[in-house]
């Protein structure tokens, strides 16, 4: 059954042009050894990070007086560890699970949480892509359609508000930034901004160019967050540690400098592989301690989405 689903998805995506040969597959994380680190952001808001950063995106836990809002839920193999971390923080039930975008390292535990009674919420494009299946523009990996039980039950177009007793969460859709279905969430009482994969701290971002993402979109999306955030707003990225508005400014500078450097090389006629070999972001490579795979992936997605 699983094989037939993968083959069907491969046929469905046959019409998507692949500009370059497929890169090697992403290594499979060691979920059994994964550890979740918890950071208290204050005001009953917590950041759950998978140690090593390979077992899924960040998870935010927002505790109210009668229930909990969870933002993103890693890969399905991490469900038990996420649930245990939440239980350590509070005995209250999870009422809502918000997906900041469709990638399975952020939506993998949807089905399990839904079976527990949680309502999965996302921008409407997330449901569409999860239901249809998706494909990586870099390594060509095909992800089959998610089962009905894993799809968001509640969707929105531009903005919506979620409420649990004692808490309000403001959801907003930034258009075509990291994907075409991104959600950011602001908690006014806590002054916490949950950015999803619009923001990465201490590492290079992923940009899903097959599904609406681009380097210009990432810069625009970051500008929108900078105009919204206060100086003391705590910012939860999709990957990496919680940060500040000052860190968000630095992130924006990195995006813009990378775009400029790669655009110049592309305009000069350099191929994608030549740009990767030139290492135009060597200073940031060293700053982030990025490996060759992370560096190459970032350079390639910028190269493919930067305007000529």
Q: Which residue has the tokens 């989405």?
A: 305
State residue 224's pLDDT score.
98
Residue 187 has a CB neighbour count (10 Å cut-off) of 24
Q: What digits encode the pLDDT tens for the residues 57-71?
A: 999 999 999 999 999
The residue count for the chain: 308
Average pLDDT over the chain, rounded to an integer: 93
DSSP string, 253-307: HHHHHHHHHHHHHHHTT--HHHHHHH-TTHHHHHHHT--HHHHHHHHHHHHHHS-
Q: What is the token pair recorded at 229? A: 């955030």
The number of angstroms, rounded, from the C-alpha of 208 to the middle of its chain's C-alpha atoms is 10
Taking 90 as the threshold, does the pLDDT of residue 54 lie above it? no
DSSP string, 163-207: EETTEEEEEE--SSSSSSS--EEEETTTTEEEEEEEEESSSPPP-
Contact predicate 164/67, CB 8 Å: yes
- Exposed, middle or buried: residue 145 (CB in 10 Å: 0-12, 13-18, 19+)? middle
Q: Summarize the confidence of residues 6-19 as an average pLDDT.
A: 41
Q: What digits encode the pLDDT tens for the residues 75-118?
A: 999 999 999 999 999 999 999 999 999 999 999 999 999 999 99
Taking 80 as the threshold, does the pLDDT of residue 295 lie above it? yes
Q: What is the token pair recorded at 277? A: 């070999």
Q: How far is residue 47's CA from residue 57's CA, in Å, rounded to a whole number? A: 11
The number of angstroms, rounded, from the C-alpha of 130 to the middle of its chain's C-alpha atoms is 14
Taking 60 as the threshold, does the pLDDT of residue 3 lie above it? no
Domains identified in the chain and CATH numbers: 2-9+19-244 (3.60.15.10)
φ/ψ (deg, to 5) at 237: -80, 170
Distances (CA, A) of 110 to 103, 192, 210: 12, 23, 23
**How confident is residue 180, by pLDDT bands cut at 50, 70 and 90?**
very high
* Percent of the chain with pLDDT strictly greater than 70: 94
Q: Which residues, at least 6 apart from 17, have a Cβ–Cβ distance to it below 8 Å?
A: none
The number of angstroms, rounded, from the C-alpha of 263 to the middle of its chain's C-alpha atoms is 25
**How confident is residue 18, by pLDDT bands cut at 50, 70 and 90?**
very low
**pTM of this structure:** 0.93
The closest alpha carbon to 52, from 28, 35, 71, 32, belongs to 35
Q: What digits encode the pLDDT tens for the residues 202-214?
A: 999 999 999 999 9
């Amino acid at each position: 059954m699983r094989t037939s689903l993968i083959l069907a998805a491969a046929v469905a995506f046959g019409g998507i042009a692949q500009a370059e040969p497929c890169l090697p597959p992403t290594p499979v994380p060691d979920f059994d050894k994964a550890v979740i680190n918890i950071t208290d952001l204050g005001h009953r808001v917590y950041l759950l990070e998978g140690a090593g950063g390979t077992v899924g995106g960040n998870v935010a836990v927002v505790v109210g007086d009668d229930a909990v809002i969870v933002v993103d839920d890693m890969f399905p193999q991490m469900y038990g560890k996420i649930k245990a971390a939440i239980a350590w923080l509070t005995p209250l039930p999870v009422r809502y699970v918000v997906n900041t975008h469709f990638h399975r390292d952020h939506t993998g535990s949807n089905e399990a949480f839904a079976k527990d009674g949680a309502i999965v919420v996302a921008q409407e494009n997330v449901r569409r892509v999860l239901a249809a299946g998706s494909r990586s523009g870099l390594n060509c990996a095909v992800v089959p359609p998610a089962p009905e039980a894993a799809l968001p039950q509640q969707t929105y177009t531009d903005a919506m508000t979620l409420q649990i007793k004692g808490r309000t969460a403001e959801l907003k859709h930034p258009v075509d930034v990291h994907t075409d279905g991104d959600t950011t969430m602001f908690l006014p009482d806590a002054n916490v901004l949950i950015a999803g994969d619009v923001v990465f701290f201490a590492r290079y971002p992923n940009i899903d160019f097959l599904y609406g993402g681009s380097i210009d979109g990432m810069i625009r999306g970051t500008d929108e967050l900078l105009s919204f955030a206060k100086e003391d707003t705590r910012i939860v990225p999709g990957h990496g540690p919680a940060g500040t508005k000052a860190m968000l400014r630095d992130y924006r500078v990195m995006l813009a400098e990378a775009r400029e450097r790669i655009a110049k090389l592309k305009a000069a006629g350099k191929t994608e592989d030549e740009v990767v070999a030139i290492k135009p972001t060597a200073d940031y490579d060293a700053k982030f301690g990025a490996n060759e795979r992370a560096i190459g992936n970032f350079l390639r997605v910028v190269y493919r989405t930067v305007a000529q």
